[in-house]
Amino acid sequence: MATPLLALSGVSKSFGAVAALRDVRLELYSGEAHALVGENGAGKSTLVKILAGVHAPDQGTLTLDGRPVTLGNPADARAAGIAVIYQEPTLFPDLSVAENIFMGRQPLRSLRRIASAEMRARAIELCERLGVPLDPDRPARGLSIADQQIVEIAKALSLDARVLVMDEPTAALSGVEVERLFTVARSLRDSGTAVLFISHRFDEVFALCQRVTVMRDGRWVSTDPAADLSVDEVVRRMVGREVTSLFPKEPATVGEPRLEVRGLTRHGSFADVSFTVRGGEIVALAGLVGAGRSEVSRAIFGVDPYDAGQVCVDGKRLPRGDTAAAIEAGLALVPEDRRQQGLVMELSVERNATLPRRWALTRMGLLFGGAERRAAGTWAERLQVKAARLSDAVSTLSGGNQQKVVLAKWLATHPRVLIVDEPTRGIDVGTKSEVHRLLSRLAGDGVAVLMVSSELPEVLGMADRVLVMHEGRLAADIPRDRADEESVMLAATGQGGRS
């Protein structure tokens, strides 16, 4: 093959005593999509930040078109034609969509003034190319995560990048949106862009990429043509061991109704949602992004108010919009956006883990560090949270470990009803199956689990029943034995009838 467009060789990077990358290599070719897979903490995000010019490697070389380059800062990387879409959108909430797309590269007119009209027109054009007619003048604040991702992609598109790096861009997207993103990525690839695609979803990796690089523990493991690999093989290389089952839902005795939702309605978000979750049951709430699933779960937990309907736990009606009463009644919610809603990023692991229970841990109204540490330690151990010290800030942990802390926080309250919103979003395979095993075990203990998820394999593997939402209404209630990809997708896109 020809010279790689972009090549890294012998790249190492350490943060303090922690080696994030050791002797990593990577070659990206023009017109090719290259997948980078590995568990959380394998060093993928560090590699991305090196390509983006955020971090400088301690050792190793980077060549572009065969010539060594130094990417001293993100502007250098952009000038070299490298566009990066990060895992978590990095938008400016106060600025308009158009400004977010073009920040730092706004089209100019005379006297170096910003050509606002041109910028607006190009933003509209980009959004339409992506099939999402976003208003270019609205502020980014309040955009759904999927729409924020669209803005990120538009930003990368506007660069006419030679190298497009996508760090888990699909984690928050639904099927339609992923397909749209892939259409764009394919057309870029076919017009000569080198694409680096990082994902935990293997179906996507194999659908888009010609080549797969596997990393483990900061080291390069292998690079092979995708055609020569199977999912099992990739997973084996990633974890360095066989993973028996991704979705180990064990059968549990279904008990009394634990959570009953009747006629729940919030104007503009969802309408007339009724269902029951029994103890020992895992019920999945499926649907496209924007169907109102997260909104329903937030309303049940009392974060948002609702206009009509009622929520009962163990036959007792919950007051609406009262989170404290919901926790009191035994509800727990693991939110979708763990950085924003699930964790206090600056606080330590132990503080986060004991936050909802801090009253139970007090003595005479005072919180003692010892009690906190012991309680947090127990759960960190059970969930195998990988943190150097429990007193470290949560923001220093990897995504999978952050999710474990959120889970630890709520599991410690011994919930009777657990609502999890996208529990494995952006989490590596190993942690994923740990989370699944945990949910399964909780159901076995008689907890009613309501799981909001966009990943079909997860829904089908874990759920005893699948509730499908479409445009704010329940479109279907499918029992485990009749649930398959087709029946769920049909209902989610509004094609299927109520079964």
Q: Which residues bind another protein (CB under 8 A)?
A: 52-54, 73-78, 86, 90-97, 99, 103-104, 106, 108, 112-114, 116, 124, 128, 131-139, 141-144, 146-147, 174-177, 179, 268-269, 288-290, 471, 493
CB of 170 to another protein, least distance (A): 14
- Among the listed residues 116, 39, 47, the one whose alpha carbon sits nearest the alpha carbon of residue 77: 47
Specify whether the CB–CB gap between 23 and 11 falls below 8 A.
Answer: yes
Which residue intervals of 95-242 are DSSP H helices?
Answer: 97-102, 116-129, 145-158, 175-190, 202-208, 231-239
How far apart are alpha carbons 13 and 22 in whole angstroms? 7
Phi, psi of 310 (to 5 degrees): -145, 160
CB of 331 to another protein, least distance (A): 23
CB of 309 to another protein, least distance (A): 19
313 burial (CB, 10 Å; 0-12 / 13-18 / 19+) is buried
CB of 201 to another protein, least distance (A): 17
Decide whether 415 or 496 has the Cβ nearer to another protein: 496
- In the three-class reduction of DSSP (H, G, I as helix; E, B as strand; rest coil), residue 419 is classed as strand
Phi, psi of 350 (to 5 degrees): -70, -40
Phi, psi of 480 (to 5 degrees): -50, -45
Decide whether 23 or 125 has the Cβ nearer to another protein: 125
Q: How far apart are the first and last CA of the chain?
A: 54
Instruction: Give the CA count within 13 Å in the CB-facing half-sphere of 111.
Output: 1
Decide whether 177 or 204 has the Cβ nearer to another protein: 177
Decide whether 154 or 288 has the Cβ nearer to another protein: 288
How far apart are alpha carbons 266 and 273 in whole angstroms? 10
How far apart are alpha carbons 15 and 32 in whole angstroms? 31
Decide whether 116 or 223 has the Cβ nearer to another protein: 116
CB of 156 to another protein, least distance (A): 12
Decide whether 5 or 77 has the Cβ nearer to another protein: 77
Which residue intervals of 359-411 are DSSP H helices?
Answer: 369-383, 399-411
CB of 134 to another protein, least distance (A): 8
Decide whether 52 or 491 has the Cβ nearer to another protein: 52
Instruction: Name the token pair of 66.
Output: 């065969």
CB of 315 to another protein, least distance (A): 33
Residue whose tokens read 């009724």: 274
Decide whether 20 or 235 has the Cβ nearer to another protein: 20
CB of 216 to another protein, least distance (A): 26
- In the three-class reduction of DSSP (H, G, I as helix; E, B as strand; rest coil), residue 127 is classed as helix
Q: Which residues contact 438 (CB under 8 A, 6 or more apart)?
A: 383, 407, 411
